[in-house]
């Protein structure tokens, strides 16, 4: 099923994903809706599949741009910058599925934005709604030292096969796919996807370990093994067969239980697999799907061998970044500080944001982007820097960052100076200070808390406390404004899920504090509820959690493993214990006492259980609710 309607060649010989005709159709359908020829529900279903969400503000729209495998070239970065500056708030937002989205567009500006994106080969088709969403991929693919092989060509082949496929936009619910090629870490989080592909080679043949049925949100589920080894040339046929089963047997009526994981639960794994195998055989009998290249001889990404343009000067980068015009409502990126005449190379930044490529002499550079927000000016600067120092492309990550690849090792200091001058020189990539967050109640209809505000607060706090960052280098913090988990808090070492509580008749924000989540070679491990924390106590809660890890861990135990191991059975045990006077010391006690009930045995059952009250700053009342101290 061809996705290429515009045959022009874009960066790194990648063909366009755009289709101008469907933008014409979008504009005509909007006109029909405004004339009353379509109901609100009909228009909503239509625009969602075209990547257009309504915000909680009725007059505002959000557009999500599909970025397959997170790959963007310099011209596409400029197109994104144009959309940000002309029709949005002057900045764009990288999501946890490697997309870029823009908020607070006016309805009639969406078409204009889509046309500008299409000029650069970008589309919003099936970025939202009950569709096959953006197929994500490991951002290190092709250059990682520990990868089995580069998964990018295979992920792109499946992307192009499924984009505008008849089934892709007519499913019971959204459908997510991820590809990973590295052995040391699952950067694409394959086990929380409906289909997750991990690269393998068997007897010299390329293929994938394939898992199916994963998902977070309601009834978080780790995907299960569908194939121990699936030959690479069969991935299109297998994906189509899975979609056929989901389309034929899935629940179209009940939104809260119509992801594929629920269908698998209903049929049982063996029953679902029998239906899959029946559809797979039927599809093969129809002729199947020919692969777009010889599966064992894919296109190879080579080092750039063309003349690179001169990079913009440090002063020019600084001037352009400071001139960015951003506007509310909501949190906006902060303008960079004035740059000194000489920008010193930051060795701390180098230690967290630079790693060698597999190819000798080249480096991978991660750009840390708080909240995933980039101004139009920064998007353009990144395009210029990618051309001058890399291969003209960047890759977004599920941590809401961005990678520059093929940077010559000797050029890294000069690249850093220009990033720093542009407000993009933050250290701490992929550390606990690199906090991920969904957009939250700033724009989302479903969110109940301002998760972006918490994300900024925690990021700033942790960057000001390098001792905490150093104490738990592997720890991941993710925030979602509601249970749906767009911030992926279910698979974080420390996850925060937005909630509200009533105090004296007023609704106040709080967060469910969850610990122990992550994805590894054994599957997805979902975080467990440890406490309910008012927003004003969250900095303290994180500090105390890290302190608890430092004092209670086993030799050589990582923070992620520690929080996965500790027993939470006594975390909410009722007990007699006077609350602390000082909320900055876990050992402080007060003469004010309040009767708590519960056995000493349960109280001392686990390190986290003993300290859950002190971590959260909230004590359980007799009626099972929480109250502030």
325 vs 89: CA distance, rounded Å: 8
169 vs 22: CA distance, rounded Å: 14
- Cβ(174)–Cβ(135) below 8 Å: no
What domains can you pick out in the chain, each with its CATH number? 11-64+86-119 (no CATH), 136-285 (3.30.413.10), 314-320+345-421 (3.90.480.20), 436-627 (3.30.413.10)
Phi and psi angles of residue 468, each rounded to the nearest 5 degrees, phi first: -70, -40
pLDDT at res. 89: 97
- Of 262-276, 394-408, 441-455, which gets the smallest average pLDDT? 441-455
Lookup: tokens for 3 = 């996705």
Phi and psi angles of residue 432, each rounded to the nearest 5 degrees, phi first: -65, -20
Asked if the model's pLDDT at residue 132 lies above 60, the reply is yes
Question: What is the separation of C-alpha 147 from the centre of its chain, rounded to a whole number of angstroms?
Answer: 21
In this prediction, residue 328 has a pLDDT band, given cuts at 50, 70 and 90, of: confident
pLDDT at res. 214: 98
Q: Is the dihedral of CA 83, 88, 94, 96 positive or negative?
A: negative
Overall average pLDDT of the 331-346 stretch: 83
* 98: nearest Cα among 466, 469, 402: 402
Q: Is the dihedral of CA 477, 144, 159, 278 positive or negative?
A: negative
Lookup: tokens for 607 = 């390190």
pLDDT at res. 338: 76
526 vs 11: CA distance, rounded Å: 38
Asked if the model's pLDDT at residue 411 lies above 60, the reply is yes
Lookup: tokens for 394 = 């960047």
Percent of the chain with pLDDT over 90: 81
119 vs 109: CA distance, rounded Å: 16
pLDDT tens-place string over residues 3-33: 444 455 555 668 999 999 999 999 999 999 9
In this prediction, residue 320 has a pLDDT band, given cuts at 50, 70 and 90, of: very high
Mean of the per-residue pLDDT values of the chain: 88
> DSSP secondary-structure letter at 259?
S
- Cβ(131)–Cβ(49) below 8 Å: yes
pLDDT at res. 584: 28
pLDDT tens-place string over residues 261-291: 999 999 999 999 999 999 999 999 999 999 9
**pTM over the 0.85 mark:** yes
pLDDT tens-place string over residues 48-68: 999 999 999 988 999 999 999
160 vs 216: CA distance, rounded Å: 26
Question: What is the separation of C-alpha 347 from the centre of its chain, rounded to a whole number of angstroms?
Answer: 28
Which of residues 239 and 591 earns the better pLDDT score?
239
Lookup: tokens for 45 = 């279903």
In this prediction, residue 585 has a pLDDT band, given cuts at 50, 70 and 90, of: very low
pLDDT tens-place string over residues 523-553: 999 999 999 999 999 999 999 999 999 999 9
């Amino acid at each position: 099923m061809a996705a290429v309607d515009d045959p022009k060649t874009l960066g790194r010989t990648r063909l366009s994903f755009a289709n101008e005709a469907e933008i014409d159709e979008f504009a005509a359908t909007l006109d029909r809706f405004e004339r009353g020829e379509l109901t609100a529900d009909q228009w909503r279903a239509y625009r969602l599949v075209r990547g257009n969400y309504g915000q909680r503000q009725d007059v505002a729209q959000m557009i999500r741009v599909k970025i397959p495998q997170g790959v963007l070239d310099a011209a596409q970065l400029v197109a994104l910058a144009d959309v940000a500056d002309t029709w949005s708030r002057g900045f764009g937002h990288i999501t946890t599925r490697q997309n870029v989205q823009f908020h607070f567009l006016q309805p009639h500006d969406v078409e204009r934005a889509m046309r500008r994106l299409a000029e650069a080969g970008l589309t919003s088709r099936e970025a939202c709604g009950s569709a096959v969403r953006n197929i994500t991929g490991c951002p290190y693919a092709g250059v990682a030292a520990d990868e089995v092989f580069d998964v990018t060509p295979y992920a792109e082949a499946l992307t192009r096969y499924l984009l505008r496929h008849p089934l892709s936009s007519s499913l019971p619910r959204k459908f997510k796919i991820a590809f990973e090629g590295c052995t040391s870490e699952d950067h694409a989080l394959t086990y929380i996807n409906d289909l997750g592909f991990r690269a393998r080679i068997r007897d010299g043949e390329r293929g994938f370990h394939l898992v199916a049925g994963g998902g977070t949100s309601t009834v978080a589920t780790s995907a299960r093994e569908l194939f121990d080894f699936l030959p690479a040339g069969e991935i299109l046929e297998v994906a189509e067969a899975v979609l056929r089963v989901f389309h034929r047997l899935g629940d179209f009526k009940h939104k809260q239980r119509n992801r594929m994981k629920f269908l698998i639960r209903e049929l049982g794994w063996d029953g679902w697999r029998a239906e899959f195998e029946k559809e797979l055989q039927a599809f093969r009998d129809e002729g199947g799907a020919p692969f777009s290249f010889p599966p064992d001889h894919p296109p190879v990404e080579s080092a750039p061998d063309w003349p690179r343009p001169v990079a913009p000067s440090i002063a020019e980068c600084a001037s352009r970044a400071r001139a960015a015009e951003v506007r509310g409502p909501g949190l906006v990126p902060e303008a960079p500080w004035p740059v000194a005449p000489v920008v010193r190379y930051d060795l701390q930044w180098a230690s967290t944001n630079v790693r060698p490529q597999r190819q000798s002499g080249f480096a991978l550079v991660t750009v840390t982007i708080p909240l995933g927000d980039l101004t139009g000016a920064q998007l353009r600067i990144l395009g210029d820097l990618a051309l001058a120092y890399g291969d003209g492309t960047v890759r977004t990550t599920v941590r809401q960052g961005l990678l520059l690849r093929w940077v010559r090792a000797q050029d890294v200091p000069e690249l850093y100076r220009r990033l720093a001058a542009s407000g993009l020189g933050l250290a701490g990539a992929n550390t606990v200070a690199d906090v991920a967050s969904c957009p939250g109640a700033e724009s989302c209809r479903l969110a109940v808390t301002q998760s972006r505000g918490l994300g900024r607060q925690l990021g700033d706090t942790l960057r000001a406390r390098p001792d905490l960052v150093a104490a738990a280098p592997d720890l991941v913090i993710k925030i979602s404004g509601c249970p749906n988990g767009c911030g992926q808090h279910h698979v974080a070492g420390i996850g925060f899920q937005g909630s509200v509580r009533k105090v004296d008749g007023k609704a106040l924000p709080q967060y469910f504090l969850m610990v122990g989540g992550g994805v590894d070679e054994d599957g997805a491990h979902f975080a467990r509820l440890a406490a309910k924390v008012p927003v004003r106590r969250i900095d303290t809660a994180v500090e105390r959690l890290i302190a608890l890890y430092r004092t209670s861990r086993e030799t050589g135990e990582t923070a992620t493993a520690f929080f996965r191991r500790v027993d939470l059975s006594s975390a909410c045990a009722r007990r007699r214990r006077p609350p602390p006077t000082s909320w900055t010391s876990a050992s402080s006690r007060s003469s004010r006492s309040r009767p708590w009930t519960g056995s000493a045995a349960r109280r001392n059952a686990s390190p986290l259980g003993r300290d859950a009250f002190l971590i959260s700053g909230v004590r359980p009342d007799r009626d099972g609710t929480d109250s502030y101290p």
